[in-house]
Amino acid sequence: MQNQDGHVVESGTETITSIKASEIDDWENFRDDDILQQQSAIQAEEAGKIPFVGDKEPLSSLAAEYKSGNAILVEKINVLTEQYAAIRRTRGDGNCFFRSFMFAYLEHILQTQDRAEVDRITANVEQCRKTLLSLGYAEFTFEDFFGLFLEQLESVLSGTEASISHDELVQRSRDQSISDYVVMFFRFITSGEIRKRSEFFEPFVQGLTNTSVEQFCKSSVEPMGEESDHVHITALSDALGVPIRIVYLDRSCDDKGSVSVNHHDFTPAHVTNASSGATQATKPFINLLYRPGHYDILYPK
């Protein structure tokens, strides 16, 4: 909170934050609506600082963030700079993994105009639709979300009436009425894949929350704002057949104290090369930077 300088916060927030700590001995003095108002003021402030999807920034902006910070992190960012050129930040609202994936994927299609990939993912999306129906989801609960994603996919291909520019893609990613719907589309896809292969996912889910797969999907996948873990990433990557690289920026280092940046590639169970029909390990074109609790988009050199 930047209430010290008093410019950013709403008036409702100030009344709470200006009370001396010694006076806060009875929390019942704070009415829920005051607190909720404060929470939404904080959210609005967060939104002002960073849109759903930010601008592309050189990786040096990440280095600047840690200039006087932890030595391991500084060293890791140096290593990262050898392979990556830029970062695009996303808002930390619990949807950052899905939002990052959305933008990185659509931007990739916009830039490569890879129609074979669009045909491939469209077939996978159709498969996911059947999965949800077979799991008992009513079609009306998900069809609007599917429709909106397919519309975005269509619009990043040039030569159609609906074609959009890169600027327009950025605008749409920041427009809640589109961006949130696409995030929710990915949540449906992820939940469907986890439920369909519940035996496979069960041990991982248990490792995270000690609940059933069903309950996990209901409380940690389908509601907006629920953060993503390796279970979500594996499921989304498998369901859509899109490999994802996650680069980890944390304080870990090996015994000898030498620093390297770890990454993990999520490779879909069945990636087939559309032209040759052969199964092959595709190099991920989605690169995300993970810092504990948050994902941003990375751009390789």
Q: Residue 35 is which amino acid?
A: I
* C-alpha 150 chain-centroid distance: 19
Length of the chain: 301
Minimum separation from the CB atom of position 219 to another protein (A): 6
| 78 contacts another protein (rule: CB under 8 A) | no
Q: Does 98 bind another protein (CB under 8 A)?
A: no
Q: Which of 62, 96, 153, 184 binds another protein (CB under 8 A)?
A: 184
33 binds another protein (CB under 8 A): yes
93 catalytic per annotation = yes
- Return the residue of 112, 141, 158, 165 that touches another protein, per CB under 8 A: 141
137 is an interface residue for another protein by CB under 8 A: yes
CB 113 within 8 A of CB 298: no
Is residue 216 at the binding interface for another protein, with CB under 8 A as the rule? no
d(CA 78, CA 63): 8
Nearer of residues 35 and 162 to another protein, judged by Cβ: 35
Question: Least separation, in Å, of the C-beta of 91 and another protein?
Answer: 16
d(CA 53, CA 88): 7
**Would you call 294 a catalytic residue per the annotation?**
yes
Q: How many chain residues touch another protein (CB under 8 A)?
A: 24
Are the C-beta atoms of 197 and 174 separated by less than 8 Å?
Answer: no
Distant-in-sequence, close-in-space partners of 23: CB < 8 Å, separation ≥ 6: none
Task: Choose one: 98-106, 136-144, 274-282, 284-292; the region binding another protein (CB under 8 A).
Answer: 136-144
Query: Least distance in Å: CB of 33 to another protein?
Result: 5
Query: Closer CB to another protein, residue 25 or residue 32?
Result: 32
Positive or negative: CA dihedral 238, 175, 55, 152: positive
User: Which residues, 6 or more positions from 201, have their beta carbon under 8 angstroms from its beta carbon?
Assistant: 194, 213, 231, 234, 235
Rounded-to-integer distance, Cα 169 and Cα 220, Å? 28
Strand partners for 245? 265, 287
Of 6, 69, 207, 223, the one binding another protein (CB under 8 A) is: 223
- Is residue 27 a contact point for another protein (CB under 8 A)? no
How far apart CA 217 and CA 194 sit, in angstroms, is 8
Separation of alpha carbons 254 and 70, rounded Å: 16
Q: Which of 52, 97, 101, 188 binds another protein (CB under 8 A)?
A: 188
Residues that bind another protein (CB under 8 A): 31-33, 35-36, 137-138, 140-142, 144-145, 177, 180-181, 184, 187-188, 191, 218-219, 222-224
Catalytically active residues, by annotation: 93, 96, 294
